[in-house]
Structure 1
Amino acid sequence: MSQRAFHYEQKRLENDFVALEPFDPAIHATRFVKDIKANPSLLTYVSLPIGDTTEDFIEFYGRHFGSSPEACIYVVFDKIVISKKGESDLKDNYAGTLALTSTSPVNACTEIGVMISPAFQRTHVATNAIGLLLLYTLDPLPAGGLGLRRVEWKTHAENAASRRAALRMGFEFEGVARWNRVFPGGEVVLPVEALEERNGTKGELPGRHTAIYSIVWDEWDEKRPKIVALMNLKR
Structure 2
Amino acid sequence: MHIKIVNNYVPPVPTAPSAGVEEEDLLHAGETYDVNFVFPVKPLESDKLSLVPFIPALHLPLFQEHTAPYPEMFAYLPFGPFPTVSSAASLYLKRVQNDPSSTWYCVVDKTRPPSPGSAGLGGAFAGIIGLLAASRAQSQAELGYLLIPPPFQRTHVTTHACALLLRYVLDPPALGGLGLRRAQWKANAMNERSVRAAERLGFRREALLRWAMVLPKGKEGLEPPGWEEGREGEGRHTVLLGLCWDDWEEGGREHVQALMSRVQ
SS in 2 for 1:225: helix
- Partner of residue 216, structure 1: 244
Q: Between Structure 1 and Structure 2, how many residues are aligned?
A: 228
Q: Give 1:70's aligned amino acid.
A: S
Q: Distance in 1 between matches of 2:232 and 2:48?
A: 45
Q: Distance in 1 between matches of 2:215 and 2:245?
A: 31
Structure 1: state its 5+ residue gaps: none
Q: Distance in 1 between matches of 2:129 and 2:60?
A: 14
- Partner of residue 227, structure 1: 256
Per the normalisation by structure 2, the TM-score is 0.80
Match for residue 33 of structure 1 among 60, 64, 72 = 64
8 Å Cα contact 1:152/1:215 also seen in 2: yes
2:238 pairs with 1:207:
no
Matches within 5 A, 1:78-157: 78-82=109-113, 90=121, 93-113=124-144, 114-157=146-189
Query: How many Å apart are 1:157 and its aligned residue?
Result: 0.4
Identity %: 37
Query: How many Å apart are 1:3 and its aligned residue?
Result: 5.1
Q: Give 1:210's aligned amino acid.
A: T
Q: Distance in 1 between matches of 2:97 and 2:60?
A: 12
- Residue 185 to residue 211, structure 1, CA distance change in 2 (3 Å): farther
Matches within 5 A, 1:42-53: 42-49=73-80, 51-53=82-84
- Residue 89 to residue 6, structure 1, CA distance change in 2 (3 Å): closer
2:101 pairs with 1:73:
no
Give the 4+ runs in structure 1 shifted more than 6 A: none
Q: Distance in 2 between matches of 1:187 and 1:204?
A: 10
- Partner of residue 172, structure 1: 204
Q: Distance in 2 between matches of 1:30 and 1:203?
A: 35
Q: Distance in 1 between matches of 2:152 and 2:87?
A: 26
Higher relative contact order (CA 8 A, sep 6+): 1
Q: Distance in 2 between matches of 1:89 and 1:105?
A: 33
- Partner of residue 22, structure 1: 53
Larger Rg: 2
Query: How many Å apart are 1:13 and its aligned residue?
Result: 0.6
Q: Distance in 2 between matches of 1:233 and 1:213?
A: 24
Query: How many Å apart are 1:106 and its aligned residue?
Result: 0.6
Query: How many Å apart are 1:2 and its aligned residue?
Result: 5.5
SS in 1 for 2:259: helix
Q: Supply the RMSD in Å over aligned alpha carbons.
A: 2.2
- Partner of residue 23, structure 2: none
SS in 2 for 1:194: coil
Cα deviation 1:165-198 (Å, max 9, x = unaligned) = 011111111121110111216753111462548x
Q: Distance in 1 between matches of 2:35 and 2:82?
A: 24
8 Å Cα contact 1:192/1:204 also seen in 2: no
Q: Distance in 1 between matches of 2:112 and 2:79?
A: 28
Q: Give 1:31's aligned amino acid.
A: L
